Amino acid sequence: MTNRALASLFAVAAVAVLAACTTGTPSAGGDSSGSGDASASDDSCPTVAGLEYFSDPLITTTPEEGQIFGDGTSITFEGPTDIVPQYLLHYVDDDGEAHEISNSAFDPSAPEGTYTTVNSVFDSDANGHPGIFELFTVEGAGISGGKVVGDTVVLGRYCVSIKTE
């Protein structure tokens, strides 16, 4: 089994355990102040405390602000080849509160350094709302003492528009 395949296996196992622990910070040089490439410019990308928009410099290609996601439209990032990125998708309700609705890993068969995913958000309250697409990876993912271990590192949060099929 290749290192990337092994890392993918551990990362997918870690999603369920670590998804609730995405309090990581960007890598050195990252900007978590909301002033990075993923910054929000208007009400279509509302600011939610704790989920500020930013993009780590390791991520070299990001989606357009407000890109549609959830109707089968793909979303693509480019970055380092030695990570297995995953994501959490939040929607922001009419009261400005964020709700996690989806999480997953990216397609491991994509060319290294290019990370693409397609997701269909089934009929839900998220339809037509802004969303926050949180890109993260797990460093040191593995199994120790029968438990999944690793450190979650958030690589960016990006504004998307959620549409359901």
What residue segments make up the domains of the chain, in order of their start?
A: 3-162
> Could you tell me which residues come within 8 angstroms of residue 82 by beta carbon, excluding any fewer than 6 positions away?
none
Q: How far apart are CA 18 and CA 144, in angstroms?
A: 14
76, burial (CB in 10 Å: exposed 0-12, middle 13-18, buried 19+): middle
The pLDDT value recorded for residue 9 is 39
Which position has the token pair 């609730």?
20
Q: How much is the pTM?
A: 0.73
Closest CA to 51 of 11, 24, 18: 24
Apex 55 CA angle, 49 and 60, nearest 5: 165
Among 55, 50, 56, 46, residue whose Cα is nearest residue 23: 50
Please classify residue 94 by burial: count the beta carbons closer than 10 Å to its beta carbon, then call 0-12 exposed, 13-18 middle and 19+ buried.
exposed
Average pLDDT of every residue of the chain: 77
Q: pLDDT per residue over 92-143, tens digit each?
A: 999 999 999 888 888 777 788 999 988 877 667 888 899 999 999 999 888 9
Indicate if the pLDDT at residue 34 is higher than 90. no
pLDDT the model gives residue 76: 92
Name, in order, each residue with C-beta under 8 angstroms of 80's C-beta and a sequence gap of 6 or more: 58, 113
Burial of 57 (0-12, 13-18, 19+ CB in 10 A): middle
